[in-house]
Structure 1
Amino acid sequence: MDTLLKAEIRSDRVTKSDLKQMRDHGKVPAVVYGKKVPSTPIVIDEKQLAAVLRRNPHSIIEMDIPEVGKHPVMISGMQRDSIQRHLLHIDFHQINMDEPVRTTVALEFTGESPAQKEGGVLTAVLHEVEVRCLPNHLPTAIAVDISGLQLGESFLAKDLRLPPEIELKTDENAVLATILVPQKASEEAEAMAEEANADNAGKAVEPAAETADQS
């Protein structure tokens, strides 16, 4: 954990005007909770938080909480303004380093397929997968080597080379990327994107607190 966020305690009885004033002063209202941390309303510096989100929104963060101390946490939920996408509220879940967590990890596409040199178009269908592992084993990204894909072939989730300590929770038959024939690339890419969106539609965002002990 090389990321430290300093929290400030705030009142749990605030008005919309109070919340707006916090945001106007560069503070993001938040809450942190967990087995070792009672549900605590806090505020986080917006610039510090933005830096964390740019690096890796699924990383483990060390949070310094007044009167509670330093604890490892993960982001379990975010609320953004629908128009300008400003952060309105964020939830942090205090985790235990000796207990598995279930979260998503970004995919990093590497290599070049021979089919691309023939005009094939690489289409990334998914940009992250869900995994379960101990916090210390959580990678910042998972490599997807597409150098072996031929024209029309796909890279499936089960093709990922994961270490034994990381369990894949995404459907193993989910398509991560495919090499499309040029004239069909636009049409098929759109169809795959729609299918992926349909699969994710209606799925609730599960806080890490509720999923940490699921297998």
Structure 2
Amino acid sequence: MKASATLQVERRVTGSRNELRKIRESGKVPGVIYGKGLGAPVSISLDGKQLAAMLRSHPHSVIEVDVPGEGKHPIMMAELQRDPISHQIMHIDFQRIDMNEKITTSARIDIVGSSIGEREGGMLQLILHELDIECYPKDIPDVIDVDVSSLELGEHISIGDLKLPEGIKATQDAETVVVAILAPQKERTEEELDHIHDEELQNAKHRDAAVAVEKD
């Protein structure tokens, strides 16, 4: 993934909570860019809709932006703050990166194919939605495809089983399960269901009797 200019940022003066509120009310998001290669952290604001679109499609992408007063720099999202109730983006931190140094980031996992186990009635369960990786910024993949075509009932794929693109190294435990095919639950007969119902009634009667004794 090469750096691409997808966000327009404006320099802002670090101000009060009231000024930050005005920025948000105008549809923009306050933020900061920091890191090696910048003279000092740069306070910025950017369009909220454009930022939201980037986060939906490529939240871990490398972005080349023209930082006012600092020139063009490759950056990546470092931290995102949302309102706990409205989930509105309140603030974003970007870190300036060196394209010639390896970084740690994450890549979305995408399931490819239809498994044997699913066709036999099993259920596919995606356990790991993103994979932590180490690579050069230019090599960050948009997604990591996981082919489940050969998986049968009860089988799974771990991080160590993944065929990663060249230059990509997983940083999590190789034994971590990424996706599994769960066996279908056995359907109970009417006799088994009646038995379970009778046991539940008996348990309820015992609970009521115990409560009555305590009240006495």
Short-chain TM bin: 0.7 to 0.9
User: How many residues of Structure 1 are paired with residues of Structure 2 in the alignment?
Assistant: 183
Q: 2:56 aligns with which of 49, 54, 57?
A: 54
TM alignment of 1:60-209, pairs within 5 A: 60-183=62-185
Structure 2 CA distance, aligned partners of 1:85 and 1:163? 34
Equivalent residue, structure 2, for 1:21? 22
Equivalent residue, structure 2, for 1:2? 4
Instruction: In structure 2, give the amino acid aligned to 1:25.
Output: S
CA contact under 8 A between 1:107 and 1:129: conserved in structure 2?
yes
Q: Deviations over 1:43-86 (max 9, x none)?
A: 11112211211211000111111111111100010000111110
Structure 2 CA distance, aligned partners of 1:51 and 1:69? 24
Q: Deviations over 1:142-192 (max 9, x none)?
A: 0010111110011101111013411110111110110001218xxxxxxxx
Structure 1 CA distance, aligned partners of 2:166 and 2:28? 40
Task: Report SS of the residue matched to 2:7.
Answer: strand
Equivalent residue, structure 2, for 1:33? 34
Structure 1 CA distance, aligned partners of 2:184 and 2:139? 39
Structure 2 CA distance, aligned partners of 1:120 and 1:146? 13
Q: Root-mean-square deviation (CA), in Å? A: 1.2
Structure 2 CA distance, aligned partners of 1:60 and 1:2? 7
Task: Report SS of the residue matched to 1:88.
Answer: strand
Structure 2 CA distance, aligned partners of 1:125 and 1:4? 31
CA contact under 8 A between 1:30 and 1:43: conserved in structure 2?
yes
Instruction: In structure 2, give the amino acid aligned to 1:5.
Output: L
Structure 1 CA distance, aligned partners of 2:86 and 2:110? 28
CA contact under 8 A between 1:28 and 1:46: conserved in structure 2?
yes
| Max Rg structure | 2
Q: How far apart are residue 4 of structure 1 and its match?
A: 2.5
Structure 1 unaligned spans of 5+? 185-215
Q: How far apart are residue 100 of structure 1 and its match?
A: 0.6
Task: Report SS of the residue matched to 1:52.
Answer: helix
